[in-house]
């Protein structure tokens, strides 16, 4: 395959609250960005710095999401693929191929390939992983301002002991995924 490839990844499949985010990134191969890696392996400070560099130096990039309502109606896998498709469709340049982290690819018009652990081995997927994670974390900080008693600034919606205690004490917010078992249990 010749032409420019696009890396695609998501952030936020596992949390109990908030949207799932996805990013699509087309890198300028002659000018590599140093330090790209799976977003989960980087500190928040390093992710934030790399996100600025990725946005400034990539050929193009886009970030999109799927809402909690979409997650609950479709399921988390299909909502993740929807967010990925939205990110790819927002790109200003059409890639020759998309490379997606994981096992599944979104429905897109160009060739697409899934690469297991692609976020650790393909620079464009690593970049997408970072942009998706940074966007989702920023969204969760905004959610924390609305619901400060939940501690979203600390756990970003994941099912930590702190989050579970708040869920039991306060009940779910409108931003909790009701299709996820711990949230359903808290509703009872």
- Domains of the chain, with CATH numbers? 5-145 (3.30.420.10)
- Residue 186's pLDDT is 84
What is the pTM assigned to this prediction? 0.95
- The neighbour count for residue 61, using CB atoms within 10 Å, is 25
Map tokens 């297991």 to a residue.
116
- In this structure, are residues 115 and 5 in contact, taking their beta carbons and an 8 Å threshold? no
- Residue 37's pLDDT is 83
- Residue 48's pLDDT is 97
- The neighbour count for residue 179, using CB atoms within 10 Å, is 15
- Residue 101's pLDDT is 96
Q: In what order do the strands lie in the sheet with 112-115?
A: 60-66, 20-26, 5-11, 97-101, 112-115
- In this structure, are residues 71 and 20 in contact, taking their beta carbons and an 8 Å threshold? yes
pLDDT < 50 stretches in the chain: 1
Helix-helix angle 123-146:44-57, to 10 degrees: 120
- Residue 75's pLDDT is 97
């Amino acid at each position: 395959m010749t032409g420019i490839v696009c890396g695609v990844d998501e952030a936020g499949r596992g949390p109990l609250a908030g949207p799932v985010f996805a990013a699509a990134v087309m890198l300028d191969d002659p000018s590599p960005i140093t330090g790209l890696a799976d977003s989960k392996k980087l500190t928040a400070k390093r992710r934030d710095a790399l996100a600025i560099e990725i946005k400034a130096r990539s050929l193009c990039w886009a970030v999109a999401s799927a809402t909690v309502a979409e997650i609950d109606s479709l399921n988390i896998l299909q909502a993740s693929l929807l967010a990925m498709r939205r990110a790819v469709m927002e790109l200003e340049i059409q890639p020759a191929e998309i490379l997606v982290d994981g096992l599944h690819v979104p429905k897109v018009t160009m060739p697409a390939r899934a690469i297991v652990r692609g976020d650790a081995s393909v620079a464009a997927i690593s970049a997408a992983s970072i942009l998706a994670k940074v966007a989702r974390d920023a969204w969760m900080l905004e959610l924390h301002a609305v619901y400060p008693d939940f501690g979203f600034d600390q756990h970003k919606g994941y099912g930590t002991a702190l989050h579970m205690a708040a869920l039991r004490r306060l009940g779910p917010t409108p931003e909790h995924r009701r299709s996820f078992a711990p949230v359903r249990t808290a509703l009872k």
